[in-house]
Every structure is written in structure tokens, then in C-alpha cells.
Structure 1
Amino acid sequence: MLKKLVLTLSLVSILFLNLLSQSKIKGYVFDAETDKPLPGTNVYIENLKLGSATDQNGYFEINNVPAGKINVVASFVGYEKQKKQIDLSPGEEINLNFYLKPTALPSQTIVVTALIASERESPVVFSNLDKQQIKDFYTTQDVPILLSELPSVLSYSWSGNGIGYNYLNIRGFDQRRISVLVNGIPQNDPEDHGVYWLDMPDLLASSNAVQIQRGAGSAFYGPPAIGGSVNIITSNFSLEPKISLFTGYGSYNTKKHSIAINSGLIANRYSLYSRLSYIATDGYREKSWAKFPSYFFSAIRYDDNMTTQINLYGGPFEDHLVYRGIPKEWVKDKTKRRANLNYMDVTTRDDEIENFSQPHYELLHEWRFGENLTLNNTLFYIRGVGFWDMDASWGDTVYFRLSKPYAEKFNFAIPSENPGEAIARYFIDLNQYGWLPRLTLKHQNGELTIGAEFRIHRGFHWGKIVWAQNLPKGLPSDYRFYEYKGAKDIISFYIHEFWRLKQNLRLMASLQFVYNRYRVYDEKEFYDYDTGKWVSNEFSVPYYFLNPKIGISYDLTQNINIFGSFSITNREPSRRDLYDASDGHWYPWGKRPNFEVKPDGTFDFTKPLVKPERLFDLELGAGYFSDDYKFTANFYYMDFRNELVKSGQLNIFGDPIIGNAERTRHLGVELTAEIKNLLINGLEFTGNATISRNRIVKHGEYVWKNPYTGESYSTPQRISLDGKKIAGFPDYIGSARVSYRNYGFLISLLGKYVGEFYTDNFNLVPSNNVARKDRKVDAYTVFDLTIAYRFEKILGLKNIELKLQVNNLFNALYAGSGVGDDFYPGAERNYFVSIGFDL
């Protein structure tokens, strides 16, 4: 009995002493900016399986904490993690209060690695458009229009008012040589390298930031960047649930309605975002209407060591075709400049329409193995399907494959006359799959990134007659006058190192290996009149490139940074440059495959005539940075071999025809300035200017007729273009914005200047050619005004914003761009008024 009593007392004593040695930690977690409690915050002891979540009042309590030195951590999605070290005595109870600072949600940083440059760190020339700027100045205009105020950026619109087909140039390079990415995913069409912004309507409404990097080698995914890269980051998650509504109306019957729903943070782990929009316009030019319904859905899951995000966006649109430019003499004529005609057209048909849809499916995943090692994987699928109906009244029986050989082969009547007035349908069905893995290792003095790109593209193309005045009897309703499949396989690997040699000295080096392979196959047979045989083209053309880049950044003082970089970039021509199978190769004046011709008259598909372009790019820059001032200057020297330049001609679809120039050179100076609180609080100034020289060093074109003298030749003669200005490249471009903000009020005036540039490489103006052709886009200046006022809360609504935009304030009559004899006019003065608010 005594033994049992002693044992019991011993156990009780041990338990009592153990309880005395256990300690307690309790307290609250607040938002550092609002002092509001943060329910659901994870508070835990580092390296121990002890923790708790805060209640609705932000209160937490952790019991049975062992004595000693420990780290207490408070973590909440969307806030900076906070850590406190304490020394607990046995049985002690400690009160701790945490004040967490809000930060970007993890979803907004998934793609922020080697793709995104940072100020005073990366030896890269770049400009940012942040979320607030997008909110302030975006309403309905497509991405190129909003980006046009950034340094060295030029945009223009086929419809004139910035909705529909819009185009972006950086340093004069068109968007086929700009790498465009959304969340790090390439958007350039693999076959023709084009970027079709109207396939992503209202994308900026769901975007968090845009970064433009200028110069070569500025992107590791997609086609190698020549003029630069554009990376759009979409993310509109919020910590609090809300419903956002927007509606607006403006000139040319332009309207926009949208609703966005944000779930807020669910169970401290999930968030959902969705948007539905509708943008429609009659267009500035005649018969340039467009209708753009669009959707964007995004879901995200946050875990302790990983983030997973799914995006789905797109919109099935329809529009009237507006691909023709107007004659130069109509640009200043108010009665003619709105015409949807070029110098050869008499009228524009109502049935030239387009229908297309391109949904994007994205899976973004980030896995953090610790503080120093992160694995990112991006999977995506892009499906594009649709058609455009074009006036093809110029086509004869040979173009439409209705002539005798086809009639006999496909068993329909031999036509006795040409189709006459006709509408042709051009159809495409595109499928693109991709995987973009990336491993990032943070080491003692920097960061190493290793990544890869695997993409597969398959395209199906065909054309048929929708309607014609004269069609042969027995012609099948689904008869296709061309049909083929195009493919591209893309594999690339890269390694990128960012190394801090010293606190004020940083080195960047990267190397990219690229493999591309074009294929054309399953082309419908056509009759070769020269050989009398039925033939079809099929080929496979591979390209292998190695693209290195090195750069250095150095802080001279706390406010002054200098940098320099050198890169070599190679880029393949587009598949259309090799062979545009839909442009009528079988037609006597059609575009032949760009390959060497064998002695027997067939093509040697192992020897393409159009070559990859090769660029040597040197960038040198400096900047002064402070809280209220920022000034930068950058010099670039871009030396090309085989640059792909415009010939001054368009194909049947309105796209420029290009070819290699043996050697060209671009050099320039880019200046930027940002001043906050200029003279008075709330007054801001931003501006930039580019002065450049873009010249052909060695190049010539073969012509049958001398454009300067009018002399005709019996055989094509080469005319030297050495020293000529390169078509499409203005030597001067700049913009300036002055804004005033105060108590929710914003007024901002933007001025943009674009210097003159030529529409062909002959540099034709009335004084130097016998035909008196004027192929020069005149310099122009336009001003845009934005006035907005925000109410925090009124009548139960939150964040109400009223906005008025007046574009081309002083009603300038100008052409934004041109190719050959086709000029694309910008809209006259126009407005858009809108209201947006949250529920």
C-alpha cells in the first residue's frame, strides 16, 4: 500500500512539474495598415508541430509550448510573413501582437523570375505599366494603343479607333519580331509570327501589370525577341469578396459592359475570379464594326509550399473586314478618309465578315522546396478556329481551280466564263499545346534559372467560294480551291544566371538553345501548267539557334546606376515567308515557294531562299533614381545580317510581304523622365523620347520597272537601296503625360509625337519618282485627355469612378502607318464616358 502511494505521488509530481514547465503564447494579429483583425491567420512555432489559427477577432492561443528560445511565425495569404523570437521560461505566459503588412497575392508573382526585369538590378532596358495606370487609362482600347505612350512604342489601328485589328511596333520593329507573352506563355502565332490582339478582348481588364523589355534576347519563351518583348501578367484576385460593374458609351456607337466577381479569400486557401465583358463599335472607318464578347475565369489554391492557378479566357468575336488602307491624298480629306477602300477598290461589300474564337487554357504551378529552390511548371492549350469572307471578284477560273483540268478531275462542268463577283471563305483551325518548366535556385550571391520550352502547333487551312455570279454546274458545295496543313515543333532550353559580384555590382548572363521545325503537308493537289502534272508541296525545314546574352549593372552612387549588355539573337522567318500556300501558288502571278529551283523546274525544299535574321545588339544605359525623380538614358546599336524588311507590297490578306536585306543597322538614344509632386503635391510628369537612325547598309531589289525613272526592263534589274531609310521605322518618336491627382480627382493629358517614315524601301516621294508616288507617312502629334473622379462610397456603392476620355483632342488628321500605297488613318476627335463601381 505504501509503495502504491509513493508511486502515485511520484507520478503526480512529475506531471505537475511537467505542467509547470509548459508555457503558453497568446495574442492578436492585425492588418498593419487598417488595424483590423485578420481572422484565419496561421500562427505557429517554427520547426515544431504547434500552432493555431486566429478567430474572428484575430485572437490566437498556443498551449503546451516547451520552454526555451523559439521563433513564433504569423502567416496570412496576401501579407508579408512576420517572425518574432522569444525566450520562454517554464510555465510562462506571453502575449504577442502581430501587425502584418499587405503585399501582392502569390498569384501575381508566379511568373516573376528571369522573365521580369527589376529597377537598378537587371541590366535590361524596360518600362512598366502597373495596375493603377491600367485602371486609370484603360477603357476599351486594345493593348497596343494603351502601350503606345511607353518609350519607343508605336501603335496603329486598321479601324482607326483602336478596337479590332491593332498593331504594335517597338523601335520600329513590327510585332512579328516582338515576343509577346501572357503570364509567360507565348502569344505569337507559330506559323506567321503575328499577334492577334482581338483574340484576347478586354484582356487588360483582368491584368495586373505589363512590362516591355526593349532590345534583343529579352524573352526566353516564344520566338526570340528582336525589337523587344511584352509580358502581360493577369491577376485580379482580392482578399475581400466583391462584385465590380462597368458600363460606358462613346463615339462611333462604341459601348462596353462588364461584370467581374471576386470571391475573396476562402478558408485562407482559395480564391476565384471571373469576368464577362461585351465591347462593340461601329468603327471609325466605314463598315468597320466589331462585336467582342469575352470571358475570363481564374481559380487559385495557396498551400504552404506551392501555388496552383488555372486561367481560362477568350471570346468568340465577329467583325467586318477592314484590311485595306486608303490613298495618301485621302488622309487629310474628311469626306474620304473614313472609307474602307484602297486606290483600286470601288466599293466595300457588306458580306466581308469574320468570325473567330481562340480560347486559352492555362495551368500555372509553383512549388517551393524551401527558401532557395523553386520549380515552376506551366501547361497551356490554345485553340483557334474561324473564318473570314473576302471579296474575291478579281479571281478567275485558274485562281479558284475551276479551269478545265480541275473540272475533268472533279467531275463538274467546264466553266465558260470567270466567276465574276465572288466571296471567298478562308478557314483556319489551329491547335497549340505547350509545357514550360523552370527551376530557380537562389544561392549565396545570386540566382540561377534553368528552363525549357516544349510546344506543338498544328494548323488546318482551306478556302472555298461562298458565293459567285457564275459557277460551273455540278460544282460541289464544299469544293475547296486550296487546302493544306501547317505544323511547327518548338524545343528550347536556357540557362540564366544573375550574380551579385558586390553589393553594388551585378552580372547577368544567359544562353538559349532553340530548335524549330516547320512542316507543310497534305496540300491539295493542283495542276502545274508548265509540266502538265498534278503536284502538291510538302516540306520540312528545321532551324537551330544559339542565343547568348551578357550584361552588367553597377551603382555609381546611391541614386545613380549604369548598365550595359550585349546579345546575339537569331530568328527564323515565318512559315508564310517560306511558302504562303493560301496566296495562290498555282496561280500564274501567285506567290511561289521561297526555295531554290532545281534544273527540272521543281523546288529544292532543303534550300530556302529566305534566311533567318541575325542580330548583334549592344545596349548602354544610365539612370538617376530617387523618391520623386527618375531619369534614364539608353543607347542601342543593332547590327543585322539578313534582316526581314518590308518590300512595300501586301499579300491578298493585307499583310506586308517581306524579304531579307543583306545588312542593315539601327542605332538610337532613348530618354525617359518621371517627376512626382512637380511644383505642387499631386502633379506628375512622365515623358520619353527616342532619336534613332535606321538604314540599309547593303541591299537591293530586282524590278521590271525602275520606280524612279519609269524605265522598263526585258529582264529584272537590281536597284541598290544602300543608304535608304528602312520602311516602317520613324527616326523620332516621343510622348509626354502630365497628370494631377487630388482627393479622388484625376486629370491627365497625354501627347504623342511620331516622326515621318517611309512605306517602302525605295523611299518614294513625289519629287524623286516619275509616277509622283508619295510613300511617306507624315509626322503627326495627337493629344488624349482623361478626366476621372472616384468616390469611396455613396448610396451603398463602393469605389465609384466616373471617367471621360477624349482621344485626339485637337482633331488631327493623320495616318498612323502605311505599307506601299495603303495608309491607315487614325480616328478624328472622339470620346468615351464610363462609370464603374463595386457592390
Structure 2
Amino acid sequence: MKRIALFSFMLFASNAWSQSINHDTTELMAIEVRATRAGSLAPFTKTNLYKDAIEKQNLGQDLPFLLNQTPSVVVNSDAGNGVGYTGIRIRGTDATRINVTLNGIPYNDAESQGTFFVDLPDFASSLNSIQIQRGVGTSSNGAGAFGATLNLSTNELMTKPYGEFNNSYGSFNTWKNTVKVGTGLIGGHFTTDLRLSNITSDGYIDRASSNLKSYFLSSAYTSDKTTFRLNIFSGKEKTYQAWYGVTEADLKTNRTINYAGMEKPSSPYENETDNYKQDHYQFFYTQHINNNLTFNTGLFYVKGKGYYEQYKADQAYVDYGMPNQVKGTETITASDMIRQLWLDNDYYGDVFSLLYEAGKTQFTFGGAFTKYVGNHYGDVIWAKEGMSDPKHRWYDLNAWKNDASTYAKWQQMIIPNLQVYADLQYRRVRYRIDGFRDNPTLRINNTYNFFNPKAGISYQLNDVLAYASYSISQKEPNRDDFEAGMTQQPKPEKLHDIELGVEKRNEYYSLGATLYYMKYKDQLVLTGKINDVGAYTRTNIDNSYRTGIELQASANISDWLQLSGNLAISKNKVLDFTEYIDDYDNGDQKLNTYSKTDIAFSPNTIAGATVKLIPLKSLEIDLLSKYVGKQYLDNTSNEKRKLDQYFTEDVRASYSFGHKLFKDISIIAQVNNLFNKKYEPNGYTFSYYYNKELVTENYYFPMAGTNLTFGVNIKF
């Protein structure tokens, strides 16, 4: 994306943000969501997306791509078309630092701390609202928010019977089929909703196929004071691996090449796939004790199991604990192999909240208790030179993680229009790891105690809201960080966040500006340093920060023209950074030191704009623009290790009409990357010295050029 549209972006806010202008669903929100979300007057930076905005974008791409037009967001896709494995960064913060909750229940993987929406295909079709908090935000359940929060809600009470049949087809043979039905409220108390989804795609990158299936079932009993709800949902994914990226040389001549499976001679291995199934069970109980007091608790259990399969060439038997093969007088020490790396985990616990509301006072007490049990193991299922057993397990390791947290939030209107906010959270984490695949004797048994206070003030007069807040967040390292070895164990990270914002909203236009300063202590980053076991893991750096301004606006120009957009300008700096580079000539590492370099994957400029045209009552045309400035692949600000800036434009047209047999029929057509921009929003780099020369290898994840999706949604 180029800078030609930056000036106009300053005039608009994100389309998603403008959706919240005339929405205030606080009274409609389930209590489990209200407990963890920022209210309309809370002094935190937030964007709300509602069901109508989610539906019209939902044509099969993964959830991060539905958030692309919101402020400070950059998305990417391994397969290049938004289906399968995708990623999201908010203010440069990656998914391991973005707290995600599903109806208030933590979703981040307990060990990697990442979020894999590919495990919940088409979950967007069951959502009724999303809140994105940028910065530390309010206290929530699960791993501490370390830059952003995504709060997803499905627990909407549908009072009338309904049915939907949503289908879309697009480039790269991408199909999405969704069926939704609901009973409405039966006897004034009971309701049940069901969704079935199937998504398949060949992907833009060679062999980057996806086969995704999911279902969602929710049943509830509700009365004046009591509500019970049971959610059961599941996702199953099979994706051909596409996580190696494309070299800089191939990017120029063969953008879609996929190196996965190519260790097999003659032709790529046909089953170099990732396979995972995740089942969720949620049970909520809500009791309105009196006019002022409401209690909620949510029990949950998540079962995940799956593996990825690889063809590996010339593998030494000793590395897998297998005996050498003997053929006659020849001893064979290595062979091509097919291996599966498995993860079998259980995650369960309880979240709870007690909400008190009276006059100008709101107080929430809540928390969560969770336990994770993970089994990591690997099987060799085939060897070219033969195996003594049909399946050989070469490692079998366990991990446990207990997480207990509690918080208290207080909001008080102290004088007319002026509200104060205080939020105190205590979190205790115990993490035990009984070895790693490449270091099975390394044992980790750590306990962390975190106190995360937050405070703020907001002032609202007519249609203007101003706020200020200061927050602290701390989080533990993830599983890979601990593999650094006993002499290089990582420290937890700490973030201080200051947010200053002002918004003006009415029925004709909205304006908003946020200033933020996020100061990190002991942030974990890749430096290239080799640890005790010869692996590259993240290392704590003493000081780094992010600071910037986010501008948003929208305007209803006329009945047929609406404008919205956002612009984020920031500085993201590491104050002192040491880079370690392998020296293959001498068998050691060389060091380079830097001062005030850019944090990797943190563009200084991100912008988005939407022009909505309504030429006919039932016809809507959206012109979507996105600009992302250059990003560095590491923390050295080296111009030879970067992702170029890019500017893309999409166009979406939707036409709705009624029919005798159906409540509504919507026809949607969307062209992505209208002008066929070649761009890469993600990548990685590594360097080394060989023959006394510095060699740098950059890998990129290219996105598809111009591509089309066509959908038909039928409601009855």
C-alpha cells in the first residue's frame, strides 16, 4: 500500500468503529461478557463490532481478516488467501500477547500462548459481537493481555425461530457452506441454536489446501432471574503445511512455491499436513440475586488432539533412539523417515463474576481457575531402510499449568459527567514441564505471582467522551522460551500502558483520537543467540517502548454516501539491542550492538478507509482501502531485512431482497486486492558468516493477487 491515500485516511475512522456509534448493547450483553469487557464509559481504547458488520464480511476467510479494517491491525495468511493458518498483530503486538476470550472463557493456548482460529473454522458465523481492546485494557481471564484483547461473544438470546443457509465460492476453489437453525424461545423459557460449517480451499500457495469442519450447538433456559446455558462446539482442520515461506529469490519468479514436503525425492510428499481437532464444552449459570446483584459462573472443558506429519530425508537413527539397520555386511545409520509430532491436551476450569450495580456505582468481583495438561509425543511411522516396529515413539513428554486469578473492578460517578475507574487483578501461575523434544532432561517447575493494577478517569458531556488510564500487565514466558536451558532461563515480561483518548459521536459523524505510551520491561524477543542446547529462543531485553496516536472518524454524508477510516502513526523502539550472528568459519557467534532500533513487525503507519455507497435501497457497495508501512523482520532496522510497505484495495457489493418463501436473500460479491498488488505482510530472517562473508536469508509469506468471492445468504 502506498502513501497516496494517507491524507484522506485522516478524515475517516474504521468502518467497524463507526458501527458502534449508534449501538449500546450493554443491557443486552450476557453477564459473562459484561464482566470482562470495557463498558461505554470505561477509560480504555476499544472498538466494537456487531453482528450485522460481521455477517456481511464473513465469506470464508479466517476471523483475523474480518478485523482488518479496525485500527492498528495487520493480518497475514500462510496460504495467502486468508483461509487456514492466519495471523494478526495489533499495534505490532503478536497473537501470543493478545488475550482472547470466548464468552469470557480464556482461549489462548496455555503453553504457546498463541491463538489458532483455524481450530474453530467459521466461528464468526456464531458471533453476535466482538470487542477489541488496544493496550492492556480491563482485567480479563486467561493469560494477561500484553498489548491487546479480543473478547468474542456468542451467547445471544434469539427469541424467534429462524433458519439460514449461507454459501460462498471464490478463487483458489474456495468453498464455504454454513447452515444455521434456531428454535426461538419455546414456552417463554427454552431455546436452542445449531450451526454446521464446512470450508475448503486449495490456497494461493502451492498445495496450501485447507479442509475445515465445525459445528456449534447452544441451548439455554431463561427466566426472570435465572439463566442456564450449555454451549458445545468443535472444529476439525486438515491443512497442508505452508509455514516455511518463500525465499527472496523465488519471490521474484515463483511466488507460490511451497517447500513443505520437498524433502521427498522426485515429488512433494502428499501428506505433509497439519491435523487437529478441538472440542469445547461451556456451561453457564446466571442468577439475578436482587435488583442490584447478579452472579455468574462458567464451567468449561476443552479437549484438543492432533499432529503434523513430515517427510524427513537422511535422518540418523540415533537421533530417534532407533537401532541402526544392518543389511549383510553394511550398517545403515540414516534413512528417510516419515514422522508425526503429536499434541494431546486437556484444558478445564471455571470463570466467575459477581456484579453489583446501584445508582452511580458499579462493582465487579471475578476471576478464574484453570488447569492445563498437555502430552507431547512423536512417532516415526515409516523409514525407507526399514523399521523393527511398525511405529516407533522417540519422545513422550508432559506439561502441566495451573492458572488462578481474581480481580475487582470499581466504577463510580463522583460528580455529574465524571467517572473514576479502578481495577485490581492478582494472578498466580504454576508451570511444570517434564522435558523438551530436543532437550528431554530439562525440567521446568516455576511459579509466578502477578499483580496488575489499572486506574482511569472518564468525562462525558453530551456527545463528547474524554478518558485517561494507566495500567500494568505482566505475563510469563511461553513453552519455547523455557528451552533456553537452566543457565538462561527467561524472566517474565512487564508492560506499563498509558492511554489518553477523546471521542465525539452523534448521528451524523464521529471523531476520535487516542494517544498511547506502552513501556516494556524485559520484553522477550529473538536475538539470534544460541542457548544451552544450541537452539534459538527469545531473550529478555531490558527496555523497549511503543508510542503513537490513533485517529478515527466517520461521517454520514448523505443517504447514499458514508465515509469511515482510521490512521495510526507510531514509534516502536528497542533502546539497546544485541544481535548474535552464527560464525560458521570459527564455530562461534559474532555480536552487533544497536541503539534505538525499530521493534520487528511494527510499522510506523497503519491506515484503513471505507467508502460506502448506497445507490439503491437494497444495494450497498463498499470500497475498502488498507495501508501498512514498512516492517523490519528483526530488531536491527536493517533495510535489507524488511517487508515493504503496501496499499491494497478491495470492493464488496451486496444486494438484499425479500421473497415469498424466504425472509431475506443477500447476494454478495467481493474482489480482494483489486489492483493485483504483490505484497507480503509477514516473513522471517536469519544471518550467518560463511567464507568470511555475511549471508542474510529472508523468507516471505506472499498474499494472493486479485481474487474474487461470491456468496448467497438465505434467511427464513
TM-score (norm 1): 0.77
C-alpha contact (below 8 Å) 1:106/1:307 kept by paired residues? no
Specify the SS of the correspondent of 1:111. Answer: helix
Say yes or no: does 1:176 pair with 2:81.
no
Which residue among 180, 193, 202 is the counterpart of 1:282? 202
Q: Structure 1's 787 and 722: CA in aligned 2 closer, same or farther, altered over 3 A?
A: same
Tell me, in whole angstroms, the C-alpha distance in 2 between the residues paired with 1:648 and 1:305. Answer: 57
Which residue among 681, 693, 711 is the counterpart of 1:834? 711
Shift of 1:391: 2.9
1:739 aligned residue: 612
Tell me, in whole angstroms, the C-alpha distance in 1 between the residues paired with 2:609 and 2:520. Answer: 31
Shift of 1:795: 4.3
Specify the SS of the correspondent of 1:144. Answer: helix
1:788 aligned residue: 654
Which residue among 175, 180, 187 is the counterpart of 1:267? 187
Which residue among 451, 454, 467 is the counterpart of 1:549? 454
C-alpha contact (below 8 Å) 1:554/1:563 kept by paired residues? yes
Specify the SS of the correspondent of 1:627. Answer: coil
Aligned AA for 2:632?
Answer: Y
Matches within 5 A, 1:335-346: 336-341=254-259
Q: What do residues 769-791 of structure 1 show as CA deviations (whole Å, max 9, x unaligned)?
A: xxxxx321000111111111111
1:687 aligned residue: 565
Shift of 1:650: 12
Say yes or no: does 1:576 pair with 2:480.
yes
Specify the SS of the correspondent of 1:331. Answer: helix
Which residue among 346, 353, 357 is the counterpart of 1:442? 357
Q: Structure 1's 366 and 650: CA in aligned 2 closer, same or farther, altered over 3 A?
A: farther
Shift of 1:509: 0.8
Specify the SS of the correspondent of 2:596. Answer: coil
Say yes or no: does 1:594 pair with 2:485.
yes
Tell me, in whole angstroms, the C-alpha distance in 2 between the residues paired with 1:376 and 1:413. Answer: 71
1:368 aligned residue: 288
Higher RCO structure, 1 or 2 (CA under 8 Å, sep 6+): 2
C-alpha contact (below 8 Å) 1:191/1:487 kept by paired residues? no
Which residue among 434, 440, 444 is the counterpart of 1:521? 434
Shift of 1:244: 1.1
C-alpha contact (below 8 Å) 2:529/2:579 kept by paired residues? no
Which residue among 404, 409, 412 is the counterpart of 1:499? 412
C-alpha contact (below 8 Å) 1:403/1:414 kept by paired residues? no
Tell me, in whole angstroms, the C-alpha distance in 2 between the residues paired with 1:501 and 1:145. Answer: 41
1:564 aligned residue: 468
Specify the SS of the correspondent of 1:173. Answer: coil
C-alpha contact (below 8 Å) 1:755/1:780 kept by paired residues? yes
C-alpha contact (below 8 Å) 2:529/2:581 kept by paired residues? no
Which residue among 374, 399, 423 is the counterpart of 1:486? 399
Bigger Rg, structure 1 or 2: 1
Tell me, in whole angstroms, the C-alpha distance in 2 between the residues paired with 1:838 and 1:514. Answer: 45
Q: What do residues 48-85 of structure 1 show as CA deviations (whole Å, max 9, x unaligned)?
A: xxxxxxxxxxxxxxxxxxxxxxxxxxxxxxxxxxxxxx
Task: Note the aligned Cα RMSD (angstroms).
Answer: 2.7
1:421 aligned residue: 336
Tell me, in whole angstroms, the C-alpha distance in 1 between the residues paired with 2:350 and 2:258. Answer: 42
C-alpha contact (below 8 Å) 2:262/2:269 kept by paired residues? no
Tell me, in whole angstroms, the C-alpha distance in 2 between the residues paired with 1:268 and 1:428. Answer: 44
Shift of 1:418: 4.3
Shift of 1:217: 4.3
Say yes or no: does 1:123 pair with 2:14.
no
Tell me, in whole angstroms, the C-alpha distance in 2 between the residues paired with 1:822 and 1:383. Answer: 34
C-alpha contact (below 8 Å) 1:752/1:782 kept by paired residues? yes
Tell me, in whole angstroms, the C-alpha distance in 1 between the residues paired with 2:400 and 2:347. Answer: 10
Matches within 5 A, 1:318-333: 318-333=238-253
1:723 aligned residue: 596
Q: Structure 1's 569 and 459: CA in aligned 2 closer, same or farther, altered over 3 A?
A: same
2:666 aligned residue: 801
Aligned AA for 2:566?
Answer: N
C-alpha contact (below 8 Å) 1:426/1:462 kept by paired residues? yes
Q: Structure 1's 759 and 510: CA in aligned 2 closer, same or farther, altered over 3 A?
A: same
Shift of 1:189: 0.5
Tell me, in whole angstroms, the C-alpha distance in 2 between the residues paired with 1:413 and 1:636. Answer: 71
Shift of 1:247: 1.6
Q: Structure 1's 440 and 393: CA in aligned 2 closer, same or farther, altered over 3 A?
A: same
Specify the SS of the correspondent of 1:176. Answer: helix
Tell me, in whole angstroms, the C-alpha distance in 2 between the residues paired with 1:546 and 1:471. Answer: 55
Aligned AA for 2:391?
Answer: D
Q: What do residues 215-248 of structure 1 show as CA deviations (whole Å, max 9, x unaligned)?
A: 0143421111111100111145432212211122
C-alpha contact (below 8 Å) 2:139/2:423 kept by paired residues? no
Q: Structure 1's 715 and 257: CA in aligned 2 closer, same or farther, altered over 3 A?
A: closer
Shift of 1:412: 13
Specify the SS of the correspondent of 1:576. Answer: helix
2:311 aligned residue: 391
Say yes or no: does 1:136 pair with 2:27.
no
Shift of 1:195: 0.7
Shift of 1:398: 3.7
Shift of 1:108: 4.2
2:576 aligned residue: 698
Q: Structure 1's 156 and 418: CA in aligned 2 closer, same or farther, altered over 3 A?
A: farther
Shift of 1:357: 0.6
Tell me, in whole angstroms, the C-alpha distance in 1 between the residues paired with 2:330 and 2:219. Answer: 58
Say yes or no: does 1:815 pair with 2:692.
no
2:500 aligned residue: 620
Q: What do residues 147-192 of structure 1 show as CA deviations (whole Å, max 9, x unaligned)?
A: 1110011110000010110011110010000001111111110011
1:55 aligned residue: none
Specify the SS of the correspondent of 1:420. Answer: strand
Q: Where does structure 1 lack aligned partners over 5 or more consecutive residues?
A: 1-101, 529-534, 580-592, 597-607, 706-710, 766-773
Tell me, in whole angstroms, the C-alpha distance in 1 between the residues paired with 2:528 and 2:137. Answer: 27
Tell me, in whole angstroms, the C-alpha distance in 1 between the residues paired with 2:660 and 2:149. Answer: 44
Q: Where does structure 2 lack aligned partners over 5 or more consecutive residues?
A: 1-22, 686-697
Aligned AA for 2:478?
Answer: S
2:16 aligned residue: none
| Identity, % of aligned positions | 31
Q: How many residues align?
A: 676
Which residue among 761, 778, 781 is the counterpart of 2:635? 761
Aligned AA for 2:473?
Answer: T
Tell me, in whole angstroms, the C-alpha distance in 2 between the residues paired with 1:306 and 1:136. Answer: 34
1:157 aligned residue: 77
Q: Structure 1's 549 and 363: CA in aligned 2 closer, same or farther, altered over 3 A?
A: same
Shift of 1:658: 2.5
Q: Structure 1's 440 and 394: CA in aligned 2 closer, same or farther, altered over 3 A?
A: farther
C-alpha contact (below 8 Å) 2:241/2:260 kept by paired residues? no
Shift of 1:445: 2.4
C-alpha contact (below 8 Å) 1:594/1:610 kept by paired residues? no
Tell me, in whole angstroms, the C-alpha distance in 2 between the residues paired with 1:403 and 1:719. Answer: 43
Q: Structure 1's 800 and 674: CA in aligned 2 closer, same or farther, altered over 3 A?
A: same
Say yes or no: does 1:642 pair with 2:522.
yes
1:401 aligned residue: 321
Tell me, in whole angstroms, the C-alpha distance in 2 between the residues paired with 1:146 and 1:563. Answer: 28
Tell me, in whole angstroms, the C-alpha distance in 2 between the residues paired with 1:736 and 1:193. Answer: 31
C-alpha contact (below 8 Å) 1:744/1:790 kept by paired residues? yes
2:623 aligned residue: 749
Aligned AA for 1:539?
Answer: I
Q: What do residues 803-835 of structure 1 show as CA deviations (whole Å, max 9, x unaligned)?
A: 111111111111121111221111111111111
Shift of 1:446: 1.4
Tell me, in whole angstroms, the C-alpha distance in 2 between the residues paired with 1:818 and 1:464. Answer: 30
C-alpha contact (below 8 Å) 2:579/2:636 kept by paired residues? no
C-alpha contact (below 8 Å) 1:376/1:439 kept by paired residues? yes
C-alpha contact (below 8 Å) 1:340/1:348 kept by paired residues? no
Shift of 1:250: 1.0
Aligned AA for 1:341?
Answer: Y
Q: Structure 1's 106 and 268: CA in aligned 2 closer, same or farther, altered over 3 A?
A: farther
TM-score (norm 2): 0.90
Tell me, in whole angstroms, the C-alpha distance in 2 between the residues paired with 1:358 and 1:690. Answer: 36
2:421 aligned residue: 508
Shift of 1:544: 0.9
C-alpha contact (below 8 Å) 1:367/1:375 kept by paired residues? yes
C-alpha contact (below 8 Å) 1:568/1:616 kept by paired residues? yes
